[in-house]
Structure formats: C-alpha cells, structure tokens
Structure 1
C-alpha cells in the first residue's frame, strides 16, 4: 500500500514538474484524476487498517477458544498417555483366533490337522 501512495505522490510531483496548467481542460482533468486516485488510496488504507484490527481481534478470540478447548481435552486424556495403541501385543491373540475361525481358505485347517 505504501508503494501505491508513493507512486501517487510521484504523479503529483511529475504534474507540477511539467508545469501542467491547472486552468486548462487537460490540466484540470489530470489534477482531478490524481486527487481521486489519492483519495481512493487513502480510503483503501483506512479499510485495510480496520480489517487488520478485526483480524487481530478474531485471532485473539480463536486463541482463547483453542486454549479453552484443548486445555480441557488434554486434562481428560492424560491417563491414556502410558498406553501404546500401536502395540500389537495387546490384541495379537484375539486377532489370531478370529482369523482362524473366519478363514475359509483350507490352509488354516490343514495346519491344525498336521
């Protein structure tokens, strides 16, 4: 945004440096266009600043909400920290029994007969 404001100031200086007559039709048009562009840039800057403030407020609210939700979540599940869900040791026997009971390939039954 600062770059745009600097470029508008450059245009104003350029118009003055070329000694464009502000009483001529062309001069009035050029100066009026530069003024309109400058006002638009100021308005955009104001809205941008307001939007940044609004986003900051939303970020603060979201941070508070995350802290509230996740702090409570962490306290509720601390007792499960010692349990390793990826360890097949706890489920290995049950899985083998279930596979043998539901297997129709005939290979499992051959092993039992041999």
Structure 2
C-alpha cells in the first residue's frame, strides 16, 4: 500500500514542480485528479487495515467456536479414523461386475 501512496506523492510533487496552478482549466483538472487519487489511496489503505483486523477477528471467533463445540459435543476418539491401522485395501484385486440394470448387459 505504501507504493500507491508514494506514487500519489510523486504525482503531487510533479504537479508542483511543473508549476501547475488552478488558474487554467487543465491545471484545475489535474490538481483535482491528484487530490482524488490521494483520497482513494487513503480509503484503500483504511479498507486494507480493516480487512486485516476482520481476518484476525474471524480467526479468534473460529477458535472460540471450536472450543465451544468441544465443550458441547465433546471429542469422540472413535470418530477419527486412521486407515493406516487397518488392512491394506490394495490387496483386494477381486472386482464385482453388477451389470447394467437398464439394458441388462454385463
């Protein structure tokens, strides 16, 4: 975000260095465009800060909700399946062909 603010500051400095004044129509337009860009950059910076805060807040809510779920429902160790403890299912080479019930082909 700092990069955007630097670009706007550069444009402001360039406008001042070129001696652009509000006396002409073009000068007035250019200076207002630079001011508007600065306002956009400020608002965007605020939105990004709010987004970061919101992400942190949602993370805390998620952690709190997980704690509440553990308290309410408990954790059942039987629900966590570890398939490494069971037989290797790759040993089963036998396939069952059920055929097609619509056209009775196998």
Scaled by the length of structure 2, the TM-score of the pair is 0.65
Structure 1 residues 68-109: Cα deviation after superposition (integer angstroms, max 9, x where no partner):
446832xx328x9xxx74258xxxxxxxxxxxxxxxxxxxxx
CA distance in 2, matches of 1:7, 1:85: 60
Query: Structure 1: which 5+ runs fail to align?
Result: 89-114
Distance 2:53 2:63 in 1: 15
Could you say which structure has the higher helix fraction?
1
Aligned residues: 82
2:56 aligns with: 56
Give, in whole Å, the separation in 2 of the partners of 1:13 and 1:61: 45
Unaligned runs of 5+ in 2: 89-106
Q: CA RMSD in A?
A: 2.5
Distance (Å, rounded) in 2 between the aligned partners of 1:50 and 1:21: 36
Aligned to 2:34: 34
Partner of 1:18: 18
- Cα distance between partner residues in 1 of 2:85 and 2:52: 44
Distance of 2:50 and 2:87 partners within structure 1: 53
Offset of residue 67 of structure 1: 4.2
Separation in 1 of the partners of 2:67 and 2:38? 43
Q: Which has the larger radius of gyration?
A: 1
Give the drift of 1:41: 1.1
